[in-house]
Amino acid sequence: MSRQPVSHTIFIERLVIALVVIGIALLLWHLRGLFILVFGAVLVEVILNIIARPLRERARLPSPLALAAAVLLVVAVIGGAAWMFGAEVARQAEGLRTLVPAAWALVMQRLDGLGIGEAVRQWTAALGAGGGVLGHIGAIAMSIGSGIFDTLLVVVGGTYLAAQPDLYRTGLLKLIPARGRELAAEALDAGGRALHLWLLGRLVSMAVVAFLTWLGLTLIGVPSALTLALLAGLLEFVPFIGPIVAAVPAVLLAFGAGPDKALWVGLLFLAIQQFEGNVLEPLVQQRAVDLPPALLLFAVVAGGLVFGVVGILFAAPLTVVLYVLVKRLYVREALHTRTPLPGEK
């Protein structure tokens, strides 16, 4: 049986559709930076709701007042921390700016004495010039203090989302055909619960890591212990890469006082990470999302390759949401396989 030839009209229609699809795909690719900032705003919305929910449920405050109180509480905490520790952190940060290069120069002198200094210089130069994932890792430290506009955009957008979450949720669901809206709503709720629980656990881990790092560095006698501890706590938000980046300046400073002290600092960071990964994390995340470590590792790599530094920062929470959506929409709905979801009773 011979096939009917495709008419010119049908061919042109298909060609136009293909070009439109390609154009939309290219547009979405160019807007990927905007999408990751939108996800950052969602994270801010979740954090504000974590604070506002007890005020709504226990203090019986109306939602607008609870949100305003949550924003004021965050501002008060940040302002109070800046008032109590700001001068000391600024002093230590200024000291770090001069101590770290001096410590690196001393490290290179000692490596030159061992005959491997030039090889290390070539290796670090190659990392700095590379365009791969290691180049993005190094860019984390270089981008601290930058991106003020993006940060303001994320914070303001997250506040708007927190003020009217149902408005944006309903608008998003209306883009989906009516027959699939109920399932989509369930998937969105599951993703939101997982993100809420993951963020709670991550904030606890960050606080514990910062305290243990400050205590350990103080006992060892490393300068700028408070600043280094705050850096370790903040970078704990980024799995795998964050702790490594946080350990580098501490080990460098300790190396300036002697290899034995650098060894103690390295062991301190290793012990804290072992405690966080094997003791604290299972306790904190036992009701949240237990992501496979290999999946999380490659998600961080993919986030850096696709979105740059911001993608590395947001890779873990974005993976949490995608992981739960796949389990709900594909494993349960398409494969009809029972699988637990975070926060589900």
Q: Between residues 171 and 81, which one has the greater pLDDT?
A: 171
- Residue 213: the pLDDT is 93
CB 154 within 8 A of CB 40: yes
- Please give the Cα distance from 292 to 319 (Å, whole number): 11
- Please give the Cα distance from 323 to 288 (Å, whole number): 12
- Residue 1: the pLDDT is 47
Nearest alpha carbon to residue 213 among 183, 242, 188: 242
- pLDDT of 31 over the 90 cut: no
- Residue 135: the pLDDT is 44
Q: Between residues 81 and 193, which one has the greater pLDDT?
A: 193
**DSSP code per residue over 274-326:** HHIIIIIHHHHSTTS----HHHHHHHHHHHHHHHTHHHHHHHHHHHHHHHHHH
- pLDDT of 109 over the 60 cut: yes
- Please give the Cα distance from 225 to 215 (Å, whole number): 8
- Please give the Cα distance from 159 to 51 (Å, whole number): 13
Kindly state the average pLDDT of the residues 100-116.
68
- Residue 214: the pLDDT is 92
pLDDT band of 55, cuts 50, 70, 90 = confident
pLDDT band of 268, cuts 50, 70, 90 = very high
Kindly state the average pLDDT of the residues 139-160.
69
- pLDDT of 265 over the 60 cut: yes
pLDDT band of 104, cuts 50, 70, 90 = low
Instruction: Please give the mean pLDDT across all residues of the chain.
Output: 79
- What percent of the chain lies above the pLDDT cut of 70? 75
- Residue 93: the pLDDT is 62
Kindly state the average pLDDT of the residues 188-208.
89
Buried b (16+ CB within 10 A) or exposed e, 212-246: bbbebbeebebbbbbbbbbbbbebbbbbbbbbebb
- Residue 216: the pLDDT is 92
- Residue 131: the pLDDT is 44
Q: Between residues 140 and 297, which one has the greater pLDDT?
A: 297
310's CB contacts (< 8 A; 6+ apart) are 33, 36, 37, 40, 147, 150
pLDDT band of 267, cuts 50, 70, 90 = very high
- pLDDT of 5 over the 60 cut: no
- Residue 270: the pLDDT is 92
pLDDT band of 215, cuts 50, 70, 90 = very high
- Residue 130: the pLDDT is 43
- What percent of the chain lies above the pLDDT cut of 90? 8
204's CB contacts (< 8 A; 6+ apart) are 280, 284
CA dihedral 269, 271, 274, 277 (to 10 degrees): -60
Kindly state the average pLDDT of the residues 193-222.
90
| Alpha-carbon 276 to chain mean position | 17
Q: Between residues 106 and 174, which one has the greater pLDDT?
A: 174
Q: Between residues 248 and 289, which one has the greater pLDDT?
A: 248
- Please give the Cα distance from 265 to 273 (Å, whole number): 12
- Residue 134: the pLDDT is 42
pLDDT band of 208, cuts 50, 70, 90 = very high
- pLDDT of 155 over the 50 cut: yes
Nearest alpha carbon to residue 46 among 334, 321, 231: 321
- Please give the Cα distance from 212 to 218 (Å, whole number): 10
- Residue 132: the pLDDT is 46
- Residue 306: the pLDDT is 86
The one-letter amino acid at 300 = V
- Please give the Cα distance from 236 to 243 (Å, whole number): 6
pLDDT band of 334, cuts 50, 70, 90 = confident
128's CB contacts (< 8 A; 6+ apart) are 135, 138
